[in-house]
């Protein structure tokens, strides 16, 4: 006699067994009508799943008309929609072999194997969607049935799909004692799929859907295995939600840093220069310079020492550090003395021989640096260090080059040459925790100043089962403990992840999502016991003996390229005044006011404000629009009226109306304040105390 506890803590008891559907019916017919699934003791299930023991139950409902649906409802609908899509595709393409079709937070996909000479094209989406609509309209029930492992395997063997047989094998390895199928309708009569479920009660529960894109994937994610076609789609409870979602995607697209970057002239990637090699155009360079100034200021406060190091170094440096040859495949090929190459060629040296000689150190060459640490280490290694000198903090905006896979390169977020806001701290073991906390403080100041609050903190630990990690396990334990303690001081939630450590030590990463939901690792703090060892670094301790320092690698932005790419999306191109390439645009009403406009312009420039002037013979309406399109935070309209009172008429980005006139000097001073305080002081408040910034500005 199971007792069911509902989310409101009320309980109900039943004779024999029951189902979520029956319980919903018992509460109200309305609830039963929109129940599409359940969570029984936290596990997502069908609405008709049998309950025979005491359980906590939540009914998952899909009500038409609600703005947002229960995430569980969307999971159910999307997974079921993946089935409907698979059925539709197999009707149109009977040769298609199904592999795996899960629901995602952002939709669903189905991996399908097509014949190599006849791939699926997105031109067929319309036909597939039509077929899906028919299936949904037929409102056929999702019917679950179960076979024993033996019977199930027999059935799959007779059907002969190696992918489904493989899925079943995996279920078996994971401890399943039976296999389940879901038929859309009646088993043996209608289409069915090996599937663990759960599903909505019937195809009619899928209110709205759309096929989105076609991509490729590998079977088991293995590049050497079969290539599959992945069809992505999205589904919702009702049409309005779908429409909203598509609109949101449109909006997100407009925030894409690649589009905004082009429009605002922030950066350019040139075919002729090379894939993944970013050219910072003047407007983008301003943003980068401002950020670098900002961070350099913070570093001075934290007593860092600025250094500069070259872009290349001898191969031997990287043999010692271990970067070469272990990460050879992600480096640009080494540079070798042309005379030496010539001689080797004459001696009949093959490319393979050459690679081996470079690896073994038989010939020397230079490498474009993949990391800054070896150079910084060699700076530390100059001369002796007392424990009294530690910690030594060496900082550099260091540009590094990595041979990223061509298919991975994208916009500013994944490039082959990038500048890290890098620093290496050399300290004693006792100082590690305090230094990590210092790094975290820095990250906090940066994220806070920029208003970036939506990030994840991940403490990356070693995976006990893996042998890829170097160094003494006792050191690892200490370093991991230091990372945990330091992360605990952050005051925000953080997660631990096994196997996410660098090979030389644990780390703390900061992860931010871009507009299309892709996560990007930005800042990172890494504890390293390995490189000091490899380079035989030492300091003289209190006891007069040589000791090994610990190194901390840290880059709060990660790379200027990736960080600014994400920042462009964060601000949708509307940078706060202190970062905006053009801070003020002065617009003369007509030629008659050009002289006064010049005066306004010069007054601003004198205050170190980045101001431009528009003296074109457009009408004021057009000038305003042009300045607004470039997301310039402040527009000053000046005409004879303003000239007379030594005023400027002010417009602020995000506010549709003219704010009114204010004295030129008052405005220039207030804006200068806002800029030097990086937004802590507000020019709007200073000049127009009665005006409030709208929420969505």
Residues with active-site annotation? 373, 402, 420, 422, 424, 507, 553
Q: What does the block give as tokens for 287? A: 């943003």
* Closest distance of CB 504 from RNA, Å: 7
Name the residue nearer to RNA (CB basis): 552 or 589.
589
Q: Of the two residues 371 and 425, which places its CB atom closer to RNA in the complex?
A: 371
Identify the CA nearest to 532 among candidates 502, 505, 508. 505
The 3-state DSSP class for residue 279 equals strand
Q: Are 206 and 82 in contact (CB under 8 A)?
A: no
Nearer to RNA, 46 or 642 (CB): 642
Between 322 and 679, CB nearer to RNA? 322
Do residues 670 and 683 touch, judged by C-beta distance below 8 A? yes
Give me the phi and psi of 99, to 5 degrees please: -120, -65
Euclidean distance between the first and the last CA atom of the chain, given in angstroms as a whole number:
58
Q: Minimum distance from CB of 657 to RNA (Å)?
A: 6
Residue among 459, 457, 424 at smallest CA distance from 443: 457
> Which residues fall within 8 angstroms of residue 518, CB to CB, at 6 or more apart?
413
To RNA, the closest distance from the beta carbon of 363 in angstroms equals 20
Dihedral (Cα; 168, 170, 176, 179), 10-degree rounding = -10
Which CB atom, from 285 or from 470, has the smaller least distance to RNA? 470
Please, what is the minimum distance in Å from the beta carbon of residue 374 to RNA? 10
Nearer to RNA, 425 or 643 (CB): 643
Considering beta carbons, is residue 100 or 539 the nearer one to RNA?
100
Task: Give the H/E segment covering residue 171.
Answer: helix 162-173
Task: Report the residue number, 45 or 331, with the smaller CB distance to RNA.
Answer: 331
Q: Helices (DSSP H) in 327-472: which residue ranges? A: 338-346, 351-360, 373-380, 432-449
Least Å from the CB of residue 298 to RNA: 23
Q: Which helix (H) or strand (E) holds 674?
A: helix 664-676
Cβ atoms < 10 Å from Cβ of 308:
8
Tell me if 278 sits within 8 A of 270, measured CB to CB: no
Nearer to RNA, 107 or 152 (CB): 107
Q: How far is the CB of 567 from RNA (least distance, A)?
A: 17
Supply the DSSP symbol for 97. Answer: E
CB 298 within 8 A of CB 446: yes
Strand partners, 651: 635
Least separation in angstroms between CB 585 and RNA: 11
Given a contact cutoff of 8 angstroms between Cβ atoms, the answer to whether 483 and 474 are in contact is no
Q: Which token pair is 1?
A: 């006699």
Shortest reach from residue 25's CB to RNA, in Å:
40
Nearest approach, Cβ of 483 to RNA (angstroms)?
A: 15
Residue 210's nearest CA partner among 67, 96, 85 is: 85
How far apart CA 611 and CA 304 sit, in angstroms, is 33
**Smallest separation, CB 164 to RNA (Å):** 20
Quick one: 531 or 567, whose CB is closer to RNA? 531
One DSSP character per residue, 439-491 reads HHHHHHHHHHHTT---EEEEEEE--TT-S---S-HHHHHHHHHHHHHHHHTTS
> Within a 10 A sphere around the Cβ of 294, how many other Cβ atoms?
18
CB 240 within 8 A of CB 247: no
If the CB atoms of residues 135 and 522 are measured against RNA, the closer one turns out to be: 522
Cα dist from 233 to 32, 117, 128, 129, 494, whole Å:
28, 24, 12, 10, 32
Minimum CB distance to RNA, residue 629 (Å): 6
Distances in Å between the Cα of 630 and the Cα atoms of 269, 562, 582, 594 are 20, 22, 9, 22
């Amino acid at each position: 006699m199971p007792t069911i506890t509902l989310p409101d803590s009320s309980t109900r008891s039943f004779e024999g067994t029951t189902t979520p559907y029956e319980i919903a019916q018992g509460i109200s017919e309305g609830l039963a009508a929109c129940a599409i699934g359940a969570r029984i003791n936290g596990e997502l299930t069908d609405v008709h799943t049998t309950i025979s023991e005491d359980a906590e139950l939540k009914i998952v409902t899909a009500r038409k008309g609600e703005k947002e649906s229960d995430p569980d409802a969307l999971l159910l609908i999307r997974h079921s929609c993946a089935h409907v899509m698979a059925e539709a595709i197999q009707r149109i393409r009977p040769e298609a072999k199904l592999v795996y079709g899960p629901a995602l937070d952002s939709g669903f996909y189905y991996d399908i194997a097509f014949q190599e000479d006849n791939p699926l094209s997105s031109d067929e989406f319309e036909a597939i969607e039509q077929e899906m609509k028919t299936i949904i309209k037929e409102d056929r029930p999702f019917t679950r049935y179960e076979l024993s492992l033996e019977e199930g395997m027999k059935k799959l063997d007779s059907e002969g799909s190696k992918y489904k047989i493989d899925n079943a094998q995996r279920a078996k390895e994971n401890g399943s004692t039976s296999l389940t199928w879901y038929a859309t309708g009646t088993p043996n009569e209608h289409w069915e799929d090996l599937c663990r479920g759960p599903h909505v009660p019937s195809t009619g529960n899928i209110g709205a859907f759309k096929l989105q894109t076609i991509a490729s994937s590998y079977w088991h994610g293995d590049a050497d295995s079969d290539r599959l076609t992945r069809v992505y789609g999205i589904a919702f409870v009702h049409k309005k939600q779908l429409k909203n979602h598509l609109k949101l995607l449109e909006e997100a697209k407009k925030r894409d840093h690649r589009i905004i970057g082009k429009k605002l002239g922030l950066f350019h990637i040139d075919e002729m220069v090379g894939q993944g090699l970013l050219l910072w155009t003047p407007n983008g360079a301003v943003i980068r310079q401002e950020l670098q100034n900002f961070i350099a200021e913070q570093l001075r406060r934290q007593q860092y020492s600025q250094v500069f190091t070259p872009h290349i170094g001898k191969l031997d440096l990287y043999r010692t550090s271990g970067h070469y040859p272990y990460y050879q495949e992600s480096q640009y090929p080494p540079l070798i003395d042309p005379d030496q190459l010539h001689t080797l060629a004459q001696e009949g040296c093959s490319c393979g021989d050459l690679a081996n000689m470079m690896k073994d150190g038989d010939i020397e060459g230079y490498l474009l640096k993949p990391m800054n640490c070896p150079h910084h280490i060699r700076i530390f290694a100059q001369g002796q260090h007392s424990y009294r000198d530690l910690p030594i903090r060496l900082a550099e905006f260091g540009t590094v080059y990595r041979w990223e896979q061509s298919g991975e390169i994208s916009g500013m977020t994944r490039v082959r040459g990038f500048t890290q806001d890098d620093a290496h701290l050399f300290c004693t073991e006792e100082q590690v925790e305090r230094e990590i906390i210092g790094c975290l403080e820095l990250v906090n100041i940066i994220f806070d100043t920029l208003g970036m609050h939506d990030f994840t903190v991940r403490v990356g630990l070693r995976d006990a089962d893996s042998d890829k990690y170097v160094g003494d396990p006792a050191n690892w334990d200490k370093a991991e403990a230091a990372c945990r303690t330091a992360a605990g001081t952050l005051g925000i939630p953080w997660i631990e992840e096994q196997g996410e450590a660098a090979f030389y030590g644990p780390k703390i990463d900061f992860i931010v999502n871009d507009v299309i939901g892709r996560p990007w690792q930005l800042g990172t703090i890494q504890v390293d016991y390995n490189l000091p060892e490899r380079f035989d670094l030492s300091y003289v301790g209190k006891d007069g003996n040589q000791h090994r320092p610990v190194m901390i690698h840290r880059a709060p932005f990660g790379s200027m390229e990736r960080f600014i790419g994400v920042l462009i999306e964060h601000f949708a191109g509307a940078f706060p005044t202190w970062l905006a390439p053009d801070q003020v645009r002065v617009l003369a009403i007509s030629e008659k006011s050009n002289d006064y406009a010049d005066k306004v312009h010069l007054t601003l420039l004198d205050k170190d404000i980045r101001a431009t002037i528009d003296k074109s013979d457009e009408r004021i309406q057009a000038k305003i629009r042009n300045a607004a399109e470039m997301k310039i935070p402040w527009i000053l309209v000046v005409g004879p009226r303003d000239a007379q009172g030594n005023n400027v008429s002010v417009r602020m980005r995000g506010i549709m109306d003219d704010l009114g006139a204010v004295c030129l000097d008052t405005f220039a001073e207030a804006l200068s304040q806002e800029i030097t305080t990086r937004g802590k002081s507000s020019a709007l408040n200073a000049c127009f105390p009665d005006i409030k910034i709208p929420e969505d500005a």
